[in-house]
Every structure is written in structure tokens, then in C-alpha cells.
Amino acid sequence: MEKEIKRISFSALKNWKECPYRHKLIYVDKIPHFEGNEYTAFGTAIHAACEKGIPNPSQNALKVFQDAFGKEIDILKESGRELNTSLIEQMRTQAVPICEQVLPAVTNHFGSFEVVSVEEELLEDISEFDSYGTKFKGFIDMVIKTQDGKYHVIDWKTCSWGWGRDKKSDPLVNYQLTYYKNYFSKKHRIEPSLVETYFVLLKRTAKVENVEIFRTTSGRKKTENSLKVLQNAVINIEKANYIKNRLNCRYCKFHKTEHCT
């Protein structure tokens, strides 16, 4: 039997950072922790519209969304989940300006570009410290290359009206793209100074500017800081140090269940 590769993703790291014990329940004990809903269906469908519409401008991004959204909703219905039909209809309308604006927004921001990859998988050795053979796993939504030879790592984020200043400057939120840049550069042997990172906010309820592109910087110091967080997680996961963080119980699905009392 082939030995399972030890890996850590940003979402696993984020779970560990918020509560090591919750990380254990999800990734070690494999207890189901999340069910899809209308919002995840919308996010999946909007991602599909971006990933198919930007490389192929002749594609009707809105139709891609509608088809994908319908399939996601059907899956939720088949699972027996009770759905908010009013919200679903609102989402169908809210997708229209996003689908109309995303390609012009990307073109206006970056100018002429080529799409390098879509949903690019990362499964790279963590070689910056003793990682006990753990690899960093991730999926980059899109990478484009501009005429100046720079690569731009893009992560689509669906949201309601947008992100506030605190979230935009939150170190852990930003570390997602710091890790992506670091391991994308290593995977392709690209000089890190040639790789830039961006969150693209796809806003359902914004009155104007339903697509917002903002750059996050990841210099040497920020990369070092992000790797310290990753190292701390990898070491403690390897040693099975799963301490409960009682400060994050309030919104945890496992709180006051047989799994975590």
C-alpha cells in the first residue's frame, strides 16, 4: 500500500492556528466539519466563470456561472439540504455585474497578459526547515504573465460588499498568497522578485465596482515570518500537540458536541 504523503494546506494551517484541537478533529480524526450552502455554491460558480471566461474571452462568463450554479444547487438539493430560494434568485442577479466586470477589470489593471495556468496545484517540499517530510499543498486560482516578464498570482475571493482595512492587512489572510508565491517560485525556479500576488474581490452586494483587485506584497521579511508560522504548525502537528483554544469556541461547529465539550 502506497504511503500517504504528509501535507499541509493553507486552510489546514488556518484551522490549526485558530484551534489545534479542531485541526485534529478535521484532519486526523476525519470528522465531517462542513456542508455546502448557497454561498459556497455561488463561490464555486463564480470561480468557474472567471477561470473559463478570462482565458477565453469569447466564452459567455454569465452562462458559465449559471450552468455551474445550477449544478451546485442541484447537488445541495440532492443532499437534502434546506435552501433559501429567495437568496438563490438574488445570487443569480448578483452574479451579472461580476461576470460583466471581471475581464475588463483584469485587463485594465494588468494590460496585455497571457494566462499561464488555472487551478495550478502546488505540492512542494517544505525545505526551509525540518518539516518531517511534509509538503505544502495548494491550488492557485490563476497565474498570468504580463509583457514585462512578471508573473501575477491571483486568488479569487467572493464576498458580500468587500473587505475592510483590518482584513486586508491581516497577516494570516495575506500569508496565503505569501506561501503561494514562495512555492510557485520554487516549483518553477522563478526569481521571487518576478512574482506578484493579488486578491481579487468579487462582490455580490456592492453598488459599484463589483470587482476589486488589490496587491499584497511578500518580501523577504514577510516570507520569513510566514514560514515561522508554518514551522510552528508543522512541528506541533508532528508531535500531536493539539491544545484546545477556548477563545475560538463560539463559532466552532464542534463546540458542545460529543467531539468537544
In the block, cell 501535507 appears at 7
Please state, rounded to an integer, the average pLDDT across all residues of the chain: 96
pLDDT of 33 higher than 80: no
Mean pLDDT for the stretch of residues 161-185: 97
What confidence category does residue 35 fall into, taking pLDDT thresholds of 50, 70 and 90? confident
Mean pLDDT for the stretch of residues 96-124: 98
Question: So what's the pLDDT on residue 40?
Answer: 97
Tell which residue, 185, 187, 196, has the closest CA to residue 113.
196
Mean pLDDT for the stretch of residues 142-162: 98
Q: Which amino acid is at 32?
A: P
What confidence category does residue 1 fall into, taking pLDDT thresholds of 50, 70 and 90? low
91: CB partners within 8 A, 6+ apart: 38, 42, 69, 204
Decide if 100 contacts 62 (C-beta within 8 A): yes
pLDDT of 233 higher than 80: yes
Strands 151-159 and 211-216 turn out to be: unpaired
Own/partner pairs, 229-234, CB within 8 angstroms, 24+ separation: 229/13, 229/17, 229/172, 229/175, 230/8, 230/13, 230/126, 230/136, 230/179, 231/128, 231/129, 231/131, 233/8, 233/13, 233/16, 233/17, 234/8, 234/126, 234/129, 234/131, 234/132, 234/134
Decide if 242 contacts 18 (C-beta within 8 A): no
Q: Which of 27-41, 110-124, 196-210 has the lowest mean pLDDT?
A: 27-41
State the DSSP string of 199-241. EEEEESS-SS--EEEEEE---HHHHHHHHHHHHHHHHHHHTT-
Segment 120-149, tens digit of pLDDT: 999 999 999 999 999 999 999 999 999 999
What confidence category does residue 261 fall into, taking pLDDT thresholds of 50, 70 and 90? confident
- HSE, side-chain direction, 13 A CA sphere, residue 165: 0
69: left (phi over 0), alpha (psi -120 to 50) or beta: alpha
pLDDT of 2 higher than 70: no
- HSE, side-chain direction, 13 A CA sphere, residue 137: 11
Segment 39-74, tens digit of pLDDT: 999 999 999 999 999 999 999 999 999 999 999 999
pLDDT of 223 higher than 60: yes
Segment 18-32, tens digit of pLDDT: 999 999 999 999 998
Number of H helices and E strands in the chain, helices first, is: 8, 6
Question: So what's the pLDDT on residue 96?
Answer: 98
Mean pLDDT for the stretch of residues 210-233: 97
What confidence category does residue 4 fall into, taking pLDDT thresholds of 50, 70 and 90? confident
In the block, cell 483584469 appears at 106
Tell which residue, 114, 131, 83, 102, has the closest CA to residue 200.
102
Q: Around Cβ 245, how many Cβ atoms within 10 Å? A: 15
Decide if 155 contacts 128 (C-beta within 8 A): no
Helices (H), 114-170: 165-169
pLDDT of 84 higher than 80: yes
pTM tops 0.75, yes or no: yes
Q: Quote the CA–CA distance of 202 and 128 in Å, as a whole number.
A: 34
